[in-house]
Structure 1
Amino acid sequence: MATDTLTQPDLVLEGQTNTPALDEKKAEAFGDRLLGMLNSGALASMLSIGHRTGLLDTMATLSASTSLQIAEAAGLNERYVREWLAALVTGRIVDYDSVSRSYSLPAEHAAFLTRKASPNNLAATMQFVPLMGAVEDAIIDCFYHGGGVPYSAYTRFHEVMAEDSAQTVIAGLDTHILPMVPGLIETLASGISVADIGCGQGRAIQKLAGMFPNSRFVGYDFSPGAIAWAKAESQRLNLENITFELQDAAQISEDSQYDLIFAFDAIHDQAQPETVLQNIHRALRPEGVYLMQDIRASSHLENNLDHPVAPLLYFISCHHCTAVSLAAGGPGLGTMWGEELALEMIEAAGFTRIEVKQLEHDFQNNYYLARK
Structure 2
Amino acid sequence: MMTDCDLTGDLNRTKTFEETLQQVIRQGGLCLMISLGHRTGLFDVMGNMDCATSQEIAARSGLQERYVGDWLAAMAHGDVIEYDEMFKTYRLPSERAALLTRAAGLKNYASHLQWFSIFGKMEDDLVRCFREGAGVPESVFADLQSNLTAEKSESDTNRLFKHVLPAVPTLIMRLCEGLDVLDLGCGSGATLLELATAFPQSRFVGYDDCAEQIQQARRTAEERGIENVAFFNRGLAQIHAIDAFDLITAFDVLHTQAYPFLVLDEAYAALRPGGIFLLQDIAESYHTERNLKQPFAPLLYAISCLRSMAQQNETSADSVSWGQEPLCQTLEAVGFEQIDVLTVPHDLLHSFYLARKPVTSAR
Question: Fold match, TM over 0.5?
Answer: yes
Query: Is the counterpart of residue 342 in structure 1 residue 330 in structure 2?
Result: no
Q: Where does residue 325 of structure 1 map in the other structure?
A: 311
Q: Where does residue 105 of structure 2 map in the other structure?
A: 118
Say which of 31, 40, 51 aligns to 1:44: 31
Query: Is the counterpart of residue 265 in structure 1 residue 248 in structure 2?
Result: no
| Post-superposition offset of 1:236 | 2.4
Query: Is the counterpart of residue 166 in structure 1 residue 161 in structure 2?
Result: no
Which letter does structure 2 place at the counterpart of 1:257? A
SS of the aligned residue for 1:126 comes to helix
Q: Where does residue 297 of structure 2 map in the other structure?
A: 310
Q: Give unpaired runs (5+ residues) of structure 2.
A: 358-363
Query: Is the counterpart of residue 203 in structure 1 residue 190 in structure 2?
Result: yes
What is the alpha-carbon distance in structure 1 between the residues aligned to residue 103 and residue 22 of structure 2? Answer: 32
Q: More deviation in 213-222 or 294-303?
A: 294-303
Residues 36-79 of structure 1, C-alpha deviations (whole Å, 9 max, x = no match): 11111111111111111111111112221111111111111111
What is the alpha-carbon distance in structure 1 between the residues aligned to residue 119 and residue 216 of structure 2? Answer: 22
| Percent identical residues | 41
| Post-superposition offset of 1:80 | 0.9
Change (3 A) 1:333 1:77: farther
Contact 2:247–2:275 at 8 Å: present in 1 too? Answer: yes
Q: Where does residue 14 of structure 1 map in the other structure?
A: none
| Post-superposition offset of 1:159 | 3.6
What is the alpha-carbon distance in structure 2 between the residues aligned to residue 337 and residue 162 of structure 1? Answer: 26
| Post-superposition offset of 1:136 | 0.8
Computing the radius of gyration from Cα coordinates, the structure with the larger value is 1
Which letter does structure 2 place at the counterpart of 1:40? Q
Q: More deviation in 230-239 or 305-314?
A: 230-239
What is the alpha-carbon distance in structure 2 between the residues aligned to residue 119 and residue 191 of structure 1? Answer: 28
Contact 1:325–1:331 at 8 Å: present in 2 too? Answer: no
What is the alpha-carbon distance in structure 1 between the residues aligned to residue 103 and residue 345 of structure 2? Answer: 22
Instruction: Name the count of aligned residue pairs.
Output: 351
Q: Give unpaired runs (5+ residues) of structure 1.
A: 1-9, 11-19
SS of the aligned residue for 1:23 comes to helix
Residues 350-371 of structure 1, C-alpha deviations (whole Å, 9 max, x = no match): 2233222334554433222222
Query: Is the counterpart of residue 130 in structure 1 residue 117 in structure 2?
Result: yes
Which letter does structure 1 place at the counterpart of 2:52? S
What is the alpha-carbon distance in structure 2 between the residues aligned to residue 72 and residue 135 of structure 1? Answer: 34
What is the alpha-carbon distance in structure 1 between the residues aligned to residue 325 and residue 146 of structure 2? Answer: 27
Contact 1:322–1:333 at 8 Å: present in 2 too? Answer: no
Contact 2:284–2:300 at 8 Å: present in 1 too? Answer: no
Q: Where does residue 157 of structure 1 map in the other structure?
A: 145
Change (3 A) 1:34 1:102: same
Contact 2:251–2:279 at 8 Å: present in 1 too? Answer: yes
Change (3 A) 1:70 1:164: same
Query: Is the counterpart of residue 67 in structure 1 residue 57 in structure 2?
Result: no
Contact 1:131–1:157 at 8 Å: present in 2 too? Answer: no
What is the alpha-carbon distance in structure 2 between the residues aligned to residue 74 and residue 40 of structure 1? Answer: 25
Structure 1 length-normalised TM: 0.89
Query: Is the counterpart of residue 240 in structure 1 residue 257 in structure 2?
Result: no
Q: Where does residue 5 of structure 1 map in the other structure?
A: none
Contact 2:281–2:351 at 8 Å: present in 1 too? Answer: yes
What is the alpha-carbon distance in structure 2 between the residues aligned to residue 284 and residue 182 of structure 1? Answer: 18
The CA RMSD measured in Å over matched residues stands at: 2.0
Which letter does structure 2 place at the counterpart of 1:303? R
| Post-superposition offset of 1:225 | 2.3
Q: Where does residue 280 of structure 2 map in the other structure?
A: 293
The structure with the largest helix share of the pair is 2
